[in-house]
Structure 1
């Protein structure tokens, strides 16, 4: 074979070897890059974990931002162990059904996509309790609770990495009261060592609901603390031996006494036991059978309480927006069409100044903090427009000086927002405080006494295209001097005295002309009781004619026929007699009687 051929083959072999080596090198580089990328992705979560582990309060806002960055990676498998853990923990504070839970499940299975991540981020933005700040205080609160629970109530065998105490802490925060049931009477300890109370904790959340109380009992190292009942405190052998019944009675008397002090749920049980013990078993029932009966009654009460708790206690609760003095503005809103076809949103609100008076305890608290009480208040109102991700896109602010304090007159105010289309998210925030003057005699807040937020999500714009009959929302009003609905005096309260006539204002758009170049329409209204009691429904209808396709209507309702307090639905239905099209709007109102 010619040397040139050998040389050519020699060159080809070297080329092949180089290709193989380059491919191997490229593969190694790719693997190393992937490792470094994974390490880089894990770096930020480790940093925010350290922020909350060290309780570095000044960096909590930064840590919350890192947490959201971590969630953004949830659609890019494989997911880190830390990310999987945070997705799992979100199940504790989100509804059991719905789009958020569906997205969580998909992301945990690594089947989710960017849309599922968006669902989580939007949900978190919706939870922001203070829309006027840059931070999401609810995320900060959640992470603070989470890492405290992982450190103090951690349990590796649990699906959430914490025992039952940790789950409740992440959901509801720290309890108002926390106690342990102990056998304080030394005589009760004269038993073998197995007859002792296990470690336990009783948590009560009165600020949330009277049913929000939880009894945790230590099971073992394997199972940790579990939610239980008084019966779980008693060793099984102790409950089943007849000779131990007199001592068991003394145990139950002591246990129920301590628990009844903390919560009224245990009051009837304590009364029953202590009465039986104090009368010396005079009712003829042997102690053994009495203990059986009282534990059976306790099970029934506990089952009932658990069902009630599931209905009344929210999935999660935040303490961020808890106001020292309750501030509950009354809010109603209505949409109207503008001439160019966009929607105007009128949000009317009012506050009763008499409800702003702080109690003595709150006043003492602020005095100790260095605040100086004053007779007047500064009320600050915010309107925050939020985008599709529920992030603030526009903010407006107004301040009102209540010079006479709780005796200051305060008429309803209205925020007017124009040019709306599609769907709109709105947040309303109020703050009120004592006031003081600075060196330039400017009025400044002294101590924030009250705080409140209300959200109006997914308010849809009216149809301004002109193809279909459209109608504004119902605006409830007081009457003017001529006994006509006064648009400048909107009713913001959820209730109304039935002895006073009520004004209704609304607008109708895009009526059709008939052959006489007139519009003809019928307005029907109905007032119907919706709280289940028997009360006659009030309804009537009236035909109208107009020379315009847009009309403004008002009705004065006489509600004196309602003799009992009721929750009612007020419905107005408009029929275009020319086209046959109909449209209706409803609003709810609590009718009170004197």
Structure 2
């Protein structure tokens, strides 16, 4: 007898104890979801993966990684981009909050960021991007290698060869699809970005934030699936240099262009002229212009030269046959239209356009004169002139001319010469641009007036064996005015100096605030505050410096003093790859040369020069600027008499357009000896030399290099330091 239980269970039946049945694990659900995606069933995959994530929101499969990544992929395949973006964003934050990270999930989140979303998640997105870069080279899976190649290909144009060599194992010229990575590539990338931070007064890396903002923008506007970088050449230039000063699509195909170029017998369809753009970065350098042309096989744009804006069919060298002349005439008219457009945007194309336009006008004038002569039955033109009728069909025929005696060849030869000239001049323009344009440019300070700060640094060895760095800086008082000339001005200069280790991690930061009152009339003072000091260096280190000038306004209550107004000017500087001074012997060690100036050269100042002198951070000076060069010596050796014995020599050279010349030969005055021998009882000592340049004869600026060389006469060890200036002619006034 068969018993069929086909109805729903009653409530009593539902309360019966049923043995637990072990469901599938989260990892197996992820594996099944991935398999469903491969089978083209995204809806089923999404349902399964969603169920797995409901049970464990931070689910990560050992074989396939984060479940949230695959859920986003399922939504993406199901044409639900908003759900995909939400799955990646939520999944990444969930993992982030529990201290876990999935590179593909992070990459998917970053790739789907919009500019609007980035504004609300800027700091978080930067942390994700930095973490993603830090994993380059640590994962050898094919998926991660592909991801890493894309990210590094986006950055490579910004990096110097030496920096890129720490990341990829091949040469820069190797195709990115073939790149393999150094084991510590990620650490090198993170370190490189830390070294680009332009504002050391803040904890954020504004340059990295700017780069990520550009990256989101170029992904939206200049995507190119065919490239390893996933962006075309326009996007790479935008990542390097930011938004151009001008960006124009070239538009030269008007009615005249169609009439004169697309002619019978000339096998040139409109599609053979690529879409093209010109970008101008002349706010960075006059050589900063870029031409882009659309590739024939995709919608991506590549960097191009002027000849590449025309089909190769027109730029090919032709014989003086009727067919060759017919094609050359169309090429001439295409050149005229293209260069007329280019000359509107950059002077580099103006001479070429003028040459082409003049030649085309001559051809048109000869044709007009020939038609008039035919109607009137007159002569056939000037002596030595030849002409050929080209083309066929109503409105399609043209007559082209040559007159060697007047310097005019047929269009075949003229076009060939212009193609050759364009190739040469464009190659030279690219060389000039590569020399002048930076690999990467930040626009963070473009809208802020610059504070004309001069700065020098000097390293000294402290008794505990660590290196102390002094940062001394200054600015001409008259350059601090914020209002009308001649009016008194009150402002405050805030300065921040940050010291980083060899991998650009912040070690310490020191700050200073300096109220400044600029006097009425001409204020010739040099404002030079006390130096900033950074201590404790034991390994290679870097410095980042930032200044801001704030306007000071009078408060309503005199007892409150002045209140700080807006920031009006900024300045930044970097000093990279400083080595600590050697903490121990053997061999003499020397501090950097510190440059000071004396208020005057009176007997009182000369009696105790080190006490009267003040730091002089400026690069330019006149011959009557009294300079004191101060430095310290360490690890001097004792002789048999328990005394140290050392010699100090200095040499000053001046470089003009004629080359280097010695400024001092032999003993000069009592203030400028070229060599002296000293003795003492201490292994470390402080020395100072008064440098007098007043007797130097000069009629043009000179780059002056002063070399101070110390020899320990006991051991024979030698150490030297250089300091450089620009010495202005006697007629020049002012110092900075």
Matched, 1:545 2:609: no
Q: 1:345 aligns with which of 469, 491, 501?
A: 469
Quote how far apart the aligned CAs of 1:428 are. 0.7
User: Is the Cα contact below 8 Å between 1:469 and 1:582 reproduced in 2?
Assistant: yes
Provide the residue aligned with 1:101 in structure 2: 165
Give the corresponding residue for 1:505: 630
Q: 2:83: which partner in 1?
A: none
Measure how far apart 1:378 and its partner are. 3.1
Q: Secondary structure at the match of 1:87?
A: helix
Q: Check if 1:298 corresponds to 2:433.
A: no
User: How big is the shift at 1:588?
Assistant: 2.1
Change (3 A) 1:199 1:446: farther
Number of the residue aligned with 1:369: none
Instruction: State the match for 2:643 in structure 1.
Output: 518
Moved more, 464-473 or 439-448: 439-448
Q: Any stretches of 5+ residues in structure 1 without a counterpart?
A: 1-21, 361-372
On the 8 A contact 1:498/1:562 being kept in 2, the answer is no
Q: TM-score, normalised by structure 1?
A: 0.83
Superposed CA offset, 1:369-415 (max 9, x none): xxxx9954332211122244423333322223333389664422311
CA distance in 2, matches of 1:359, 1:205: 31
The reply on whether 1:533 has 2:667 as its aligned counterpart is no
Q: Give distance in 1, aligned partners of 2:133 and 2:276.
A: 36
What is the CA-CA distance between 1:66 and the residue it aligns to?
A: 0.8
1:574 counterpart residue number = 710
Equivalent residue for 2:566?
447
Per the TM alignment, residue 182 of structure 1 is displaced from its structure 2 partner at its CA by 2.0
Q: What SS does structure 2 have at the residue aligned with 1:538?
A: coil
Tell me the equivalent position of 1:392: 506
Distance in structure 1 (CA, Å) of the matches to 2:488 and 2:649: 52
For residues 433-472 of structure 1, give each alpha carbon's deviation from its aligned partner in whole angstroms, at most 9, with x where no partner exists: 4344677756455433322221223322222335431211
Distance 2:313 2:356 in 1: 20
Do residues 168 (structure 1) and 237 (structure 2) align? yes
Structure 2 CA distance for aligned equivalents of residues 536 and 388 of structure 1: 37
2:71 is the counterpart of 1:33: no
Count of aligned pairs between the two proteins = 558
Work out whether 1:261 is the aligned partner of 2:344.
yes
Question: How much does 1:296 deviate?
Answer: 1.8
Q: Which residue of structure 2 lines up, in the alignment, with residue 381 of structure 1? A: 495
Q: Which moved more, 1:188-197 or 1:334-343?
A: 188-197
* Cα distance, 1:55 vs structure 2: 4.0
SS in 1 for 2:682: coil
1:144 aligned to 2:209? no
Match of 2:156 in 1: 91
Which secondary structure state, in structure 2, belongs to the residue aligned with residue 511 of structure 1? Answer: coil
Q: What is the TM-score of this pair, normalised by structure 2?
A: 0.68
Distance 1:219 1:83 in 2: 25
Q: Which residue in the other structure is 1:274 paired with?
A: 357
Q: Is the 8 A contact 1:374 1:435 kept in 2?
A: no
Aligned to 2:55: none
Query: Is contact 1:127–1:138 with CA below 8 Å preserved after alignment?
Result: yes
Residue in 2 aligned with 1:224?
Answer: 300
Task: Tell me the secondary structure at the aligned position of residue 614 of structure 2.
Answer: strand
CA offset digits 1:129-160 (Å, max 9, x no partner): 22222322222222222232222111122232
Query: 1:412 and 1:345 mapped to 2: Cα distance?
Result: 17
Structure 1 stretch 436-445 or stretch 413-422: which is displaced more? 436-445
Query: Is this contact kept in 1: 2:628–2:688, CA < 8 A?
Result: yes
Determine the C-alpha separation between the residues in 2 that align with 1:444 and 1:110.
Answer: 57
How far apart, in 1, do the equivalents of 2:182 and 2:615 lie? 47
Deviation of the 1:416 alpha carbon: 2.2
Counterparts of 2:556 and 2:506, CA distance in 1 = 33
The offset of 1:250, in angstroms, is 4.3
Question: Which residue in the other structure is 2:286 paired with?
Answer: 210
- Residue 102 of structure 1 aligns to a residue whose secondary structure is coil
1:205 shift after superposition: 0.6
1:61–1:136 Cα contact (<8 Å) kept: no
Q: How far apart are 1:28 and its partner, in Å?
A: 6.0
| Max Rg structure | 2
CA contact (8 A) 1:125 1:390 kept: yes
Q: Does the aligned pair in 2 maintain the 1:377–1:405 contact within 8 Å?
A: no
CA distance in 2: counterparts of 1:52 and 1:538, whole angstroms? 64
Distance verdict in 2 for CA 1:580–1:58, change over 3 Å: same
The alpha carbon displacement at 1:25 in A equals: 9.0
Task: Tell me if the contact between 1:94 and 1:101 (Cα under 8 Å) persists in the aligned partners.
Answer: no
Alignment correspondent of 2:139? 76
Instruction: Name the counterpart of 2:688.
Output: 554
SS of equivalent residue, structure 2 residue 617: coil
Distance in 1, Cα, partners of 2:313 & 2:162:
46
CA RMSD of aligned residues (A): 3.4
Q: 1:501 to 1:401 in 2, by over 3 A?
A: closer
The answer as to 2:182 corresponding to 1:65 is: no
Shift of residue 287, structure 1, vs aligned partner: 3.5
Q: Judge conservation of contact 1:323–1:450 (CA < 8 Å) in 2.
A: no
Question: Does structure 2 conserve the Cα–Cα contact (< 8 Å) formed by 1:52 and 1:60?
Answer: no
Once residues 444 and 198 of structure 1 are traced to their aligned partners in structure 2, the CA distance between those partners, rounded to angstroms, is 59
Do the aligned residues in 1 keep the contact of 2:30 with 2:61 (CA within 8 Å)? yes
Residues 357, 187 of structure 1: CA spacing in aligned structure 2 closer, same or farther, 3 A cutoff? Answer: farther
Following the alignment from structure 1 to structure 2, what is the Cα–Cα distance between the partners of residues 247 and 345? 68
Distance 1:275 1:535, change over 3 A: farther
Contact map agreement 1:376 1:405 (CA 8 A) in 2: no
Which stretches in structure 2 are left out of the alignment for 5+ residues? 1-21, 32-59, 68-94, 96-101, 171-175, 319-323, 367-405, 666-673, 731-736
Alignment match, 1:428: 545
On the 8 A contact 1:323/1:449 being kept in 2, the answer is no
Query: Structure with the greater relative contact order (CA < 8 A, sep ≥ 6): 1 or 2?
Result: 1
